[in-house]
Amino acid sequence: MGTQQFTLFSRILHWTMAAMILAMLFIGVAMVASLADYHLLISIHRPLGIAILVLVIIRYVNRRLNPPPPFLADMSSEERFVAHASEMMMYAMMLVLPLIGWGMLSAARYPIVLYGPLYLPPILPHSPMLYAVLRKTHTIVAYLFFATFIAHFSAVLFHSLILRDHLIDRMVPWKVSAESTPARP
């Protein structure tokens, strides 16, 4: 049988956020190790994180309105569970990681600058201890996110190059018609 695709809007959201999140993880890890570029990188990190927070909410609503196409018929129930769980975990991290960032800046009483005079209000009371805990959590969740991304990407490569089952067709940005997709040998 052929492959059904995600809706175009879902695919645009997926690839936009993929690029943003990967950039965000690299900026984060570069920022904490940098002296010269620290200010520039953190000035990008804050608004990009909030943009991801907004987009993940839109994306979750969209997912409820436009449910994903079914998994390939020959995927085992274990495979489906792992694929679904890793997706849900990534959704959770897309939501939680920016919120922790916003919360930790609030607890430290740093101004939460998006751009220029555009600020977000603090969402937590001023507490250095709370900041310290959230700051550590931010790093741990970010590494966890990177590891989950690597697992997700490895699985896609495995499906595409080893199984060659055209799983990726569900998400490619261009149109793939269900009829033209060759069935798995």
Binding site for another protein (CB under 8 A): 25-26, 29-30, 32-40, 42, 108-111, 113, 116-117, 119, 126, 128-129, 131-133, 135-136, 146, 150, 153-154, 157-158, 161-162
Q: Which residue type occupies 174?
A: W
For residues 5 and 106, which CB has a smaller minimum distance to another protein in the complex?
106
For residues 9 and 26, which CB has a smaller minimum distance to another protein in the complex?
26
Closest distance to another protein from the beta carbon of 43 (Å): 9
For residues 1 and 19, which CB has a smaller minimum distance to another protein in the complex?
19
> For residues 110 and 140, what is the distance between their CA atoms, to the nearest angstrom?
21
Within 8 A by CB and 6+ apart from 111, the residues are: 105, 119
CA 133 to each of CA 29, 62, 138: distance values in angstroms, whole numbers, following the listed order: 18, 33, 9
Closest distance to another protein from the beta carbon of 64 (Å): 31
Task: Name residue 112's beta-bridge partners.
Answer: 120
Closest distance to another protein from the beta carbon of 31 (Å): 8
For residues 14 and 135, which CB has a smaller minimum distance to another protein in the complex?
135
Closest distance to another protein from the beta carbon of 44 (Å): 13
Closest distance to another protein from the beta carbon of 85 (Å): 20
For residues 4 and 137, which CB has a smaller minimum distance to another protein in the complex?
137
